[in-house]
């Protein structure tokens, strides 16, 4: 089965927040993406709410429950107590944990699973007790996979930023793709499912899904939102679905 597409709405929310107006509507564009075939929606409600706001979460949860019950809601963020309570309140299908500093512009590295083993294990246990599937943001590093598995997580999400930054350097892109592939191979071999996300676009998705045929999900925001300015959200969603193999 091809990788499922989860549309990250943070860039839509950031555009809305520039003027503190109700448009573009985060929920409205989420509805358009799901109606066009997206398999889910992703949000990253940072503590300063500069992207998705806490007030967006009940609306998005209701959108999925009421209109697209087959779709999934993925909430990602750094697992401080405020974030953990937020996900426990809004009941996503998947929680993706990232090692973000609040000042970071965007997620730009994965966890050191060896260094943060105890913290992550405790957090994963709490989330799974509430019935959530858990994914941990991971650098393309096969040596970290066993430690990731030992946290009890269900999945890792490959940080594809270095691969995405190679848009004008095919040789480097091939090297970065192989790192991702080797990490995915190692994860699948120890029973972890594999997601991917960051700087993925229509042009670089096909090579990724070919190298990682077991890829479960891609979460895409910036590139998809940028394309939506040209093609519209519905057509852009269909273009990304096609790039994933649907």
CA gap 129, 187 in Å, rounded: 23
Nearest alpha carbon to residue 218 among 40, 1, 66? 40
Task: Tell me if residue 133 falls in helix, strand or coil.
Answer: strand
Contacts of 220 (CB under 8 A, 6+ apart): 5, 6, 7, 8, 197, 200, 201, 240
Q: Are 71 and 35 in contact (CB under 8 A)?
A: no
Where helices occur in 160-232 by DSSP H, the ranges are: 161-164, 170-189, 205-211, 222-231
What is the rounded CA–CA span in Å between residue 1 and residue 179? Answer: 22
Q: What are the catalytic residues?
A: 44, 76, 198
User: Hey, what are 78's tokens?
Assistant: 């750094």
H or E element, residue 95: strand 94-97
* DSSP run (H or E) holding 124: helix 117-129
148: left (phi over 0), alpha (psi -120 to 50) or beta: alpha
């Amino acid at each position: 089965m091809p990788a499922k597409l989860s549309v990250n709405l943070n860039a839509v929310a950031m555009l809305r927040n520039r003027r503190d107006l109700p448009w573009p509507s985060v929920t409205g564009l989420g509805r358009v993406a799901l109606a066009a075939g997206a398999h889910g929606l992703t949000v990253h409600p940072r503590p300063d709410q500069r992207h998705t706001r806490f007030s967006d979460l009940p609306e998005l949860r209701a959108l999925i429950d009421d209109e697209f019950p087959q779709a999934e809601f993925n909430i990602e963020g750094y697992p401080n107590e405020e974030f953990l309570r937020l996900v426990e309140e809004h009941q996503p299908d998947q929680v993706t944990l990232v090692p973000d500093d609040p000042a970071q512009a965007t997620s730009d590295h994965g966890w050191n699973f060896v260094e943060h083993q105890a913290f992550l294990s405790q957090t994963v246990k709490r989330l799974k007790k509430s019935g959530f599937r858990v994914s941990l943001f991971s650098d393309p590093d096969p040596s970290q996979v066993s430690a990731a598995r030992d946290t009890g997580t269900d999945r890792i999400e490959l940080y594809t930023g270095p691969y995405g930054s190679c848009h004008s350097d095919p040789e480097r892109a091939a090297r970065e793709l192989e790192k991702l592939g080797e990490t995915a191979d190692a994860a699948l071999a120890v029973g972890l499912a594999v997601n991917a996300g960051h700087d993925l676009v229509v042009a670089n998705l096909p090579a990724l899904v070919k190298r990682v045929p077991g890829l479960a999900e891609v979460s895409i925001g910036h590139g998809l939102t940028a394309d939506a300015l040209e093609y519209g959200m519905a057509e852009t969603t269909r273009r990304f679905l096609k790039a994933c193999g649907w």
